[in-house]
Amino acid sequence: MGMKEAQSKKGQESAERVHREAMKEERRTEARKGSDLKKGGERFEERAMSSDRRGKD
């Protein structure tokens, strides 16, 4: 459920908080990694390879 679709004010605030925290975590990860994380389909593939324990060769 997105921020705009939340039924109550409390739900909207909660969704916004989760969104902000996710953005912070992504920035920390990108800083640690030294480059931007992939977005969209590329990111899905990157996560799939990681979960399968397959690396890029």
What is the SS3 assignment for 4-16?
CCCCCHHHHHHHH
* pLDDT for res 18: 93
* pLDDT for res 24: 92
* pLDDT for res 54: 58
* pLDDT for res 11: 87
What separation, in Å, do the N-terminal and C-terminal C-alpha atoms of the chain show? 37
Q: Per-residue pLDDT tens for 18-53?
A: 999 998 998 888 888 888 877 777 777 777 776 666
* pLDDT for res 26: 87
pTM attached to this predicted model: 0.54
